[in-house]
Chains A and B, each alone.
Chain A
Amino acid sequence: MPVVVGVSVVVFSIVHLLPGDPVLAILSGANATPEQERELRAQLRLDDPLPAQYVRFISRAAIGDFGRSIFTRRPVIEEIAEQLPSTLELAATAIVIAIVVGLALGLLAAVWHNTWIDRTAMLVALGGVSMPSFWLGLLLIFVFSLQLGWLPATGQGGVTRLLLPAATIGLNYSAVIARLVRSSLLEVLGHGYISTARAKGLSEWGVTLKHALGNALIPVTTIIGVQLGNLLAGTIIVETVFSRRGMGRLAVTAVLDKDYPLIQGVVLVSALGYVLTNLLVDLSYAALDPRIRHREGAKG
């Protein structure tokens, strides 16, 4: 909760940290008369003391009123509501791809530890973390749209238009997950109960999947949670590369247009989403790890 209040203060401050007068910034290029300027100043009530302005900002924001976009003159909340589903759809698909590819690479590398399979998987992962998403996206467009013609390069709607952008984000994050699954699995595989399971005569895959994976996934969940916010942020670039609609595109346009109400709205909604996801991850963490579950239970 204190974080949420802090975030709102930061977002509120954006307008006040701006160099120069926000009224002039808003009216720039509009050839405003001094009268219009006074009117806008009164409308925004920028002469009130700052705490009063903050209280007004936050009580409006709490009911979803972020004011109107300077550019389109539409309520900011409408703009956001229009773009959000597209980004959520992209992020959800991306995370599925990231987890599937990441788990597969990490498992392969851990089970065949120190063989060429391990080294190849980790080389792929290194490439994945080192590849900027806009470059990966362009490569995918080049190969799958321009050369092979399998998938459309840009635009909106349908699975075919979702696949390439989601793969761009997903592959980037699968690399992080793969490295972590591998190191976490290798650590767990060194424990005593794994030797017991092996001594029972279980196959290496049986041991890994049945006994090791569950425990190895606990740190992985945390990272997936932490990465979830970055993944959402990754949509900022990928949406631009693939000319998709969405929150990321909206954020970039808002910054380029200096559309401050829109920036405030987008940033506040994104940061709240990030905080909320992290909360959910913490909760699922407790569900996954019996040690935390029992400790919490003992306390209550």
Chain B
Amino acid sequence: MLPRVLRRRKSALVGGLILAVVALAALFAPALAPYDPIKVRPAEALSPPSLSHPFGTDQYGRDILSRAMTGARLSLLTGLGAVAVALTAGVVVGLACGVIGGWTDLLVMRVVDIMMAFPGILMALVVVAVLGQGTVNVMLAVSVSLIPTFVRLVRGDVLSVRENAYVEAARALGGAPARVALRHVLPNVVAPIIVISTVAIAWSIILGASLSFLGLGPRPPIPEWGIDLSSGRNYLLRAWWISSVPGFCIMLTVVAVNLVGDALRDELDPRLRSLANL
């Protein structure tokens, strides 16, 4: 399905190519990065972009290109990891609610309503406050903020798919509820889940970097886009490249994810237009 979308839509192809480059850079950062991203070289501090340092160096003389490449690992990991956790929780809980119904459904949906009463970043802040700072906790915090959206979406779609005759037929043939849910209901709610997941990846990358920017994520000197952007704030005039490179990296990655996501949405389910804007 993805290859077809990429072929048919140019914008998705551009997005896909950008993502491939970012992912490769992240994956092979230890081998490809020209310098050690953490080693301090005071003599080379604040050097502007040049042939030896294509994106310049920061206030400690660390190579920005190497840090941006290594930082991509954490950002992608946060984005993908948070969505994977939220997706699993959302599908399991949403499917169960939609299929079982009754009190279980009522109770879980009230809990979801309560979680929805916290705007995403506030929810993430609360989770970080409880769990403490750090890379894994930021990822968990981001995923908790996503779970209610996933549960709601999956449950709503399950409820409507459940009414179809083929589901009733499967039940009438004596299929166990769990089997009917997995074999007959789940495959028919996959499209909207895929679309929401791409939007969620974009949002997770931004939220993860935001938490790091606020100083709640991994600790310096770990290379991370949010941290690096924050550490360059006081050098905007003398060395604009320190903040600009990670800032541009975040934007480029998120634009690319959104391009692919928009195309997938148009391809899979035009009804989701308004939903995806959430």
Contacts and interface: CB of A to CB of B under 8 A. Distances in A.
Interface string B227-266: 0011001001100100100010011001100110000000
A188 interface: no
Interface residues of B, number: 43
Contact of A252 (B214, B229, B274, B278): B214
Chain A interface size, as a band, is 35 or more
A126 interface: yes
Contacts of A233: 119-122
Contacts of B215: 252, 256
Contacts of A131: 251, 254
Q: Top 10 A-B pairs ranked by shortest CB distance? A: A6-B114, A233-B119, A135-B247, A130-B254, A229-B119, A130-B255, A233-B121, A255-B129, A132-B206, A17-B130
Interface SS, B side: helix
B156 to A, nearest CB: 16
A14 B277 contact: no
B127 to A, nearest CB: 10
A50 interface: no
Given A6-B117, A271-B117, A274-B118, A141 B229 contact: no
B132 interface: yes
B117 A132 contact: no
A217 interface: no
Given A229-B119, A263-B126, A180 B251 contact: no
Interface of A: 2-3, 6-7, 9-10, 14, 17-19, 126-127, 129-135, 138-139, 141-142, 146, 176, 179-180, 183-184, 219, 223, 226, 229-230, 232-234, 236-237, 240-241, 251-252, 254-256, 258, 260, 263, 267, 270-271, 274-275
A133 B230 CA distance: 12
A135 B247 CA distance: 6
B273 A183 contact: yes
Residue among A254, A258, A270 having the largest count of chain B Cβ atoms under 10 Å: A270
A118 to B, nearest CB: 14
Given A7-B117, A219-B274, A255-B125, A240 B214 contact: yes
Residue among B117, B226, B278 having the largest count of chain A Cβ atoms under 10 Å: B117
A223 B209 contact: no
A237 B215 CA distance: 11
A184 to B, nearest CB: 8
Contacts of A256: 215-216
A146 B236 contact: yes
Contact of B258 (A10, A130, A180, A258): A130
B255 A127 contact: yes
15 contacts: A3-B113, A129-B254, A133-B210, A134-B230, A142-B236, A176-B277, A183-B273, A223-B274, A236-B214, A237-B214, A251-B125, A254-B129, A258-B129, A260-B129, A275-B117
Contact of A180 (B118, B122, B230, B274): B274
B128 interface: yes
Given A127-B251, A135-B250, 16 more contacts: A6-B113, A6-B117, A10-B118, A19-B132, A129-B254, A132-B209, A138-B229, A138-B236, A139-B247, A183-B274, A233-B120, A236-B122, A237-B210, A237-B214, A240-B214, A274-B117
Interface of B: 110-111, 113-114, 117-122, 125-126, 128-130, 132, 202, 206, 209-210, 213-216, 226, 229-230, 233, 236-237, 240, 243, 247, 250-251, 254-255, 258-259, 273-274, 277-278
A149 to B, nearest CB: 11
Contacts of B255: 126-127, 130
Nearest to A176: B277
Contacts of B213: 132, 134, 237, 240
Contacts of B226: 134
Contact of B277 (A3, A9, A223, A241): A223
B133 to A, nearest CB: 8
A179 B251 contact: no
Contacts of A237: 121, 210, 213-214
Contact of A230 (B120, B209, B273): B120
A255 B128 CA distance: 8
Nearest to A175: B277
A18 B127 CA distance: 10
Given A142-B240, A146-B236, A176-B277, A132 B210 contact: yes
A189 to B, nearest CB: 15
B228 to A, nearest CB: 11
